[in-house]
Amino acid sequence: MGKYGLNFISDKNLFEHVQETIGKYRFQISLSEFNKNLVDPIKLTFDSKVYGKSIEEIVETESIRQIDKSNTNHIGYFHQNIFRYFGAGWEVPEKGYDIVHSERKIFVEMKNKHNTMNSSSAQKTYMKMQDKILRDDEAVCYLVEVIAKRSQDIIWKVSLDGETFSNKNIRRISVDKFYELVTGNPVAFRDLCQVVPKVIDDVIAANKIGKVENDVFAELQDISPNLIKSLYLLSFEKYEGFTALEIG
């Protein structure tokens, strides 16, 4: 473990939090996981032909894409749960809001990207916050966006049934401004970003983390030596005529 020099989280806590996040990462994918949502072999065929790649390369790309999709959720864990270590009254409850400061009456919902919520989800989140401030007019609710369009701390305006609603105590804030609100340091989030690569390197070195193991190819070959035929049989084996499929 190195010296990271952040004044809002200890070296030990930062190392352990990064270690916990990496511990949630996927390092293996099986055929059943690969086909959990039913892969589309026709799309994979188009991708292979159009991009001039082998079907092996396309399967590898799709495997990594699926692993990456799972890991994106774990980065959400990193962004939210790091506030457990900040002290000074900041909490990460098991249910309810993502981050809370009870004494300051701050209630936070955190999203990784500004465009991850559809209109229905945005309305539901806004109504949850609206209910909070109706019950407590001193409460302030924040929608924190890690990847926002810009650095901001603004009133969140939402359209409900064609009518625009806003309240000064329901706000939309970028993560850098939220870190400033929490720590008092306007560049606290930048400081964290500067040391994260070193912390990750230290965690990987300490835990001897290996590479991704992809079992998809071996299991596809158990279906047929012809990889592309295996992909079609994976999805269409019970369709008429596919047991006698001839494809190259």
CA distance 116 to 75: 14
Report if residue 1 sits inside a domain. Answer: no
pLDDT in tens, the chain (248 residues): 678 989 999 999 999 999 999 988 888 888 888 888 788 999 999 999 999 999 889 988 888 888 888 788 888 899 999 999 998 899 999 999 999 999 999 999 999 875 667 788 888 899 999 999 999 999 999 999 999 999 999 999 888 777 888 899 999 999 999 999 999 999 999 999 999 999 999 999 888 776 777 888 888 888 888 888 888 888 887 887 887 777 76
* Cβ neighbours, 10 Å, residue 172: 20
Residue 193 lies in a domain: no
The two three-digit tokens of residue 187, written as one number: 């560049």
102 and 159 together in one domain: yes
> How many domains does the chain contain in total?
2
Give the neighbor-by-neighbor strand order of the sheet with 99-101. Answer: 90-91, 99-101, 106-113, 140-147, 170-174, 153-155
Residue 3, in any domain of the structure:
no
Q: Examine residue 197 and state whether it is found in any structural domain, yes or no.
A: no
Q: Which of 97, 162, 183 is nearest to 136 (CA)?
A: 97
Q: Is this prediction's pTM over 0.75?
A: yes
Same domain, 96 and 179: yes
Domain range for 38 is 11-82+207-244
Query: Based on C-alpha coordinates, what's the Rg of the chain?
Result: 23
